[in-house]
Amino acid sequence: MPTISMFFGILIRMNWKDMGQHKVPHFHAFYGEYEAVFGLDGEIITGNFPRKQFAFVKGNPDLLSVRDEVQGARSAGTETYIEIC
């Protein structure tokens, strides 16, 4: 699974073929021994994450822009390719 972002010791990974298990667009966050699956709304779908690191993930501007781009494409009824820098 490719790492798309790293900040404050948190790794964010996303696999575009991973829709079977969770049924919604999501990403995986890793911090030490913690792992959680987050929806693009920033809420935890499964797993556990420390409160402080959860706040960092939920408020990360790069991840918020991905969420906005995906939601815009969905409302327009089109697919989109997301570039994350």
Q: 9 with 17: CB under 8 angstroms?
A: no
Domain range annotation of the chain: 3-76
> In this structure, what is the dihedral angle of CA atoms 36, 41, 42, 43, given to the nearest 10 degrees?
-60
Q: Is 8 exposed, middle or buried (0-12, 13-18, 19+ CB in 10 A)?
A: exposed
Query: Over its length of 85 residues, how does the chain's per-residue pLDDT go in tens digits?
Result: 788 888 999 999 987 665 566 577 788 999 999 999 998 888 899 999 999 999 999 888 777 676 667 666 556 655 554 444 4
Amino acid at 68: D
